[in-house]
A and B are shown apart, each in its own frame.
Chain A
């Protein structure tokens, strides 16, 4: 799978094609560090200077989507698991955070307003109570989705359920979760979700200064997750993950446990989605079933596909670009965006399976030669995993 390695390297660190003498590991690390410094400078210095408060809070929202995309890039791009239900983990993180913030808003001993409205409950439901403590709620935003992913993943991967079966199951999980949330209106807020979140650990979210702080937290988290993903992709485990993607049986014959390898990537991706959901809540002030169902879950995937599923930065840039395009275009042509979104799916996946990231590499390699031949020779970065 040299294509994959080459593609990812060209995009991640912009190393020249491997025909030239390969860069040593120290140079690699230097380039990666420089890339991170550049990314951090853009996120922390340039964006806050250039963008208005409104646009900055939009960017915060996009960056949350990008965090989910990093996880999908790991699980799908590297691991070959098309996880269509990332909305579930995003939602688990989001709801855990929102429950805590709701309880904090209401004050000790009080119940969130919607419960009195719809639930006619006399007291707080048992499963809400632990979320009053930030020491429970904060770890829960990550551990809860990881736990669910662990249970589902170990059940599914051990029995070698994969490919389309796994995609459909993960999607069904999203459908089931949304139906469950809507059905339990009294305790979950139903279709409305948990709305109108005012405070964030004592800070008023309406204050632009605090919104800016939330943005910085989100940007910092995204960078940390990228570093984690880069590490996982570059270390021995990353090699193994790609190997499992491209030839699961062969890896099994070599004495490894493919189920465990896949499980790690899936659980890490779930944790990233959970964290993204948790940070999405203070950035937007609401979490509802409409943000975590089948449709948003698939929309998480499209950004990854557009950017380049097998690369490190592709998913992030793709997710931000698609989310940004959505806002920009649906402001002007409300119906038109859906057509464009559909076309994006069709064109990118069918004709450019490596995403836009592969386009850069392909163009570079073919410079001067067959300038229009690249389209036909586009290869699927998934290798033979899909068959």
Chain B
């Protein structure tokens, strides 16, 4: 029983990381249909932001707290720049955004290598987040994992509320559901696109800050994460945050269970097979917006 709950928590914490890195994608890929391969590099930018801030602010707790909004703005600004320079020309052909942004990601990786050097760097975690909490029944829960879980929950809550309540959120949803009608109704769609991209990319930056608590920061960290994040959004379904949330945790638990029963590599393959099997059942992902489109 203890083992089971321990594994469950491992799964949930993997899921929280997945959710955090997939959340921004759920907005830019799920809502806007743009396949941003540079999303992983925005995560990296968030992580390096934490690292840079820590060179200036030595108290690890403060630097982490300050890094969260700063990384959001840094990554968000990168996203807006990318949207303005390239992506807005490509809304009509989403598959090509994949290749273009992959090129951008190559450039950003090399830039990181030239600025920070190829070897990975490390940040110091604040004292508060290094220990474990012992729960009754002999289960220990790592503080940093708990923090990431809370951060993911907060991000989901903020995004949900933001999309539902704020005027910008309403506009985003309107543009996603029917771009032409939204434009006719006087919504500045180009500006809304840019804001959506700012928020989506900013969330990648926040994910980057969280990832500094788990491991080293390096120029290629984004590449390894991006595929998992895309899979979460694909399986979750387009345009639905709840799908992203459920699938992130489901894949996390599946991964943890598989890892426990076999090995890490076999578990990865298991997850892939599970995804293909799932898409047999629901090819459009877990939740979809109903449309009458023929495509």
Contact = CB atoms under 8 A, between A and B. Distances in A.
Interface in A99-134: none
Nearest to A380: B93
Given A179-B264, A180-B268, A386-B92, A169 B275 contact: yes
Nearest to B92: A387
Interface stretch (A23-31, A90-98, A268-276, A342-350): A342-350
Contacts of A287: none
Interface centre among B94, B105, B295, by most A CB within 10 Å?
B295
B103 A342 contact: yes
A339 interface: yes
Contact of B107 (A160, A343, A350): A343
B94 A183 contact: no
A193 B92 CA distance: 41
Contacts of A163: 94-95
B227 A171 contact: yes
Interface stretch (B5-13, B109-117, B180-188): B109-117
Interface stretch (B66-74, B197-205, B239-247, B276-284): B276-284
Given A335-B114, A346-B100, A164 B95 contact: yes
A172 B227 contact: yes
Given A164-B94, A169-B276, A350-B89, A345 B265 contact: no
B125 interface: no
Nearest to B89: A350
Contacts of A344: 103
Interface residues of A, number: 49
A329 B110 CA distance: 15
A346 B86 contact: yes
A160 B29 CA distance: 19
A40 interface: no
Interface in A178-220: 179-180, 182-184
Nearest to A168: B230
A176 B105 CA distance: 21
A278 to B, nearest CB: 23
A302 B280 contact: no
A173 interface: yes
Interface string B85-107: 01001101111101110111111
A242 interface: no
Interface string B32-47: 0101000000000000
A297 to B, nearest CB: 11
Given A163-B94, A172-B272, A183-B265, A349 B223 contact: no
Interface of A: 82, 84, 152, 155-156, 159-161, 163-165, 167-169, 171-173, 175-176, 179-180, 182-184, 248-249, 294-295, 298, 301-302, 305, 335, 338-339, 341-346, 349-350, 353, 380, 382, 385-387
14 contacts: A82-B98, A164-B95, A165-B234, A165-B283, A167-B98, A169-B234, A172-B231, A179-B268, A183-B263, A249-B295, A345-B100, A350-B96, A353-B93, A382-B95
Interface of B: 29, 33, 35, 86, 89-90, 92-96, 98-100, 102-107, 109-110, 113-114, 223, 227, 230-231, 234, 263-266, 268-269, 271-272, 275-276, 279-280, 283, 294-295
For the complex of A and B, 10 pairs with smallest distance between CB atoms: A183-B265, A345-B103, A342-B106, A342-B107, A386-B93, A338-B110, A159-B283, A346-B103, A342-B103, A176-B272
